[in-house]
Chains A and B, each alone.
Chain A
Amino acid sequence: MRDGPVPLRGAAKSAPRKGIEVGEGDQTRKSQPTARRKRLFGAWITAREAFWIAIEALRSHKLRSILTLLGVVIATTTLISVMSVVNGMNLYFQDRIANLGANTFILHQWQWAQGYESWLKARRRNKPIRLEEFEFLKASLPNYKNIGANAWIWGESDAKYKGKTLYEVELAGRTPNMIDIGQEKVELGRYFTESDYQHSAMVCFVGRDLVDEFFPTIDPIDKEITVRGANFRIIGVAGRIGTTFGQSQDKFVHIPLTTFQKLFVARPQLAVSIQAYDPKQMLVLEDEVRALMRARRQIPYKDDDTFGINASDTLMSAWHQLTGAIFAVTIGIVAVFMVVGGIVIMNIMLASVTERTHEIGIRKSLGARRRDILMQFIIESSVMAAAGGGIGVLLSFIISKIVDMVFTSSVPLNAVVIGLVLSTVVGLFFGIYPASKAARLDPIEALRTEA
Chain B
Amino acid sequence: MQESAAPGAGVVIRTEDLWKTYDMGEAIAVHALCGVSFEIERGEYVAIMGPSGSGKSTLMNLIGCLDTPTRGNYWLNGHMVSELSDDELAYIRNKEIGFVFQTFNLLARASALHNVELPLIYNGTPAMERLEKAQEALAKVELADRMHHRPNELSGGQRQRVAVARALVNNPSIILADEPTGNLDSATGEEIMKLFDRLHEAGNTIVLVTHEHDIAAHALRILHIRDGKIDRDERVE
Are these two chains actual partners, yes or no?
A: yes
Chain A: residues with CB nearer than 8 A to chain B?
Answer: 5-12, 14-15, 18-26, 38-39, 41-46, 49, 56, 60, 358-359, 361-372, 443-444, 447, 451
Bound: A39/B123 CA distance, A: 8
Bound: A319/B9 CA distance, A: 80
Q: Mark B1-33, 1 if CB is under 8 A from A, else 0.
A: 101001001100000000000000000000000
Bound: A364/B119 CA distance, A: 10
Bound: A26/B95 CA distance, A: 12
30 A–B contacts, CB within 8 A, in A order: A8-B202, A8-B203, A10-B136, A10-B171, A11-B204, A14-B171, A18-B77, A18-B173, A19-B10, A23-B3, A25-B1, A44-B124, A46-B122, A359-B107, A361-B105, A362-B106, A362-B107, A364-B66, A364-B90, A366-B93, A366-B94, A366-B166, A367-B90, A367-B91, A367-B119, A367-B170, A369-B90, A443-B66, A444-B61, A444-B66
Q: Is there an interface contact between A22 and B6, defined as CB atoms closer than 8 Å?
A: yes
Q: Whole-angstrom distance from the CB of A281 to the nearest CB of chain B?
A: 64
Q: Is there an interface contact between B204 and A8, defined as CB atoms closer than 8 Å?
A: yes
Q: Lowest 8 A-B CB distances belong to which pairs?
A: A367-B94, A42-B124, A12-B203, A8-B202, A22-B78, A367-B122, A369-B87, A369-B90
Bound: A12/B64 CA distance, A: 20
For window 115-160 of B, CB contacts with A under 8 Å fall at 118-119, 121-127, 136, 139-140, 142
For window 81-98 of B, CB contacts with A under 8 Å fall at 84, 86-88, 90-91, 93-95
Which residues in A have their C-beta under 8 angstroms from that of B198?
5, 8
Q: Is there an interface contact between B124 and A41, defined as CB atoms closer than 8 Å?
A: yes
Closest B residue to A440 by beta carbon equals: B86
Closest A residue to B109 by beta carbon equals: A56
Closest A residue to B168 by beta carbon equals: A11
Chain B: residues with CB nearer than 8 A to chain A?
Answer: 1, 3, 6, 9-10, 42-43, 61, 64, 66-67, 77-80, 84, 86-88, 90-91, 93-95, 99, 101, 103, 105-109, 118-119, 121-127, 136, 139-140, 142, 166, 168, 170-171, 173, 198-199, 201-204
Which residues in B have their C-beta under 8 angstroms from that of A46?
121-122, 124
Which residues in A have their C-beta under 8 angstroms from that of B91?
26, 367, 369
Q: Whole-angstrom distance from the CB of B201 to the nearest CB of chain A?
A: 8
- Given the contacts A21-B77, A365-B105, A38 and B124 also touching, CB distance less than 8 Å: yes
Bound: A25/B76 CA distance, A: 11
Instruction: Name the one of B6, B78, B95 contacting A367, with C-beta atoms under 8 angstroms.
Output: B95
Bound: A26/B203 CA distance, A: 27
Bound: A346/B64 CA distance, A: 33
Q: Which of B64, B78, B80 has the most CB of A within 10 A?
A: B78
Which residues in A have their C-beta under 8 angstroms from that of B142?
5-6
Q: Whole-angstrom distance from the CB of B105 to the nearest CB of chain A?
A: 5
The prevalent SS among residues of B at the interface is loop
Q: Is there an interface contact between B139 and A6, defined as CB atoms closer than 8 Å?
A: yes
Which residues in B have their C-beta under 8 angstroms from that of A364?
66, 90, 93
Which residues in A have their C-beta under 8 angstroms from that of B170?
367
Which residues in A have their C-beta under 8 angstroms from that of B1?
23, 25
Instruction: Name the one of B61, B64, B101, B203 contacting A15, with C-beta atoms under 8 angstroms.
Output: B203
Instruction: Name the one of B66, B118, B127 contacting A363, with C-beta atoms under 8 angstroms.
Output: B118
Instruction: Name the one of B86, B99, B139 contacting A366, with C-beta atoms under 8 angstroms.
Output: B99
Which residues in B have their C-beta under 8 angstroms from that of A443?
66
- Given the contacts A11-B168, A365-B105, A367-B94, A372 and B122 also touching, CB distance less than 8 Å: yes
Which residues in B have their C-beta under 8 angstroms from that of A38?
124
Bound: A321/B126 CA distance, A: 54
Which residues in B have their C-beta under 8 angstroms from that of A372?
90, 122
Q: Is there an interface contact between B87 and A447, defined as CB atoms closer than 8 Å?
A: no
Q: Is there an interface contact between A371 and B9, defined as CB atoms closer than 8 Å?
A: no
Bound: A22/B80 CA distance, A: 9
Bound: A18/B66 CA distance, A: 21
Closest B residue to A25 by beta carbon equals: B79
Q: Is there an interface contact between A23 and B78, defined as CB atoms closer than 8 Å?
A: yes
- Given the contacts A19-B9, A368-B90, A444-B61, A45 and B202 also touching, CB distance less than 8 Å: no
Excluding A6-B142, A11-B203, A42-B122, 9 further A-B contacts by CB distance (< 8 Å) are A5-B198, A6-B139, A8-B204, A11-B168, A11-B171, A11-B199, A46-B124, A365-B93, A369-B87
Q: Is there an interface contact between A369 and B204, defined as CB atoms closer than 8 Å?
A: no
Which residues in B have their C-beta under 8 angstroms from that of A368?
90, 122
Q: Is there an interface contact between B109 and A39, defined as CB atoms closer than 8 Å?
A: no
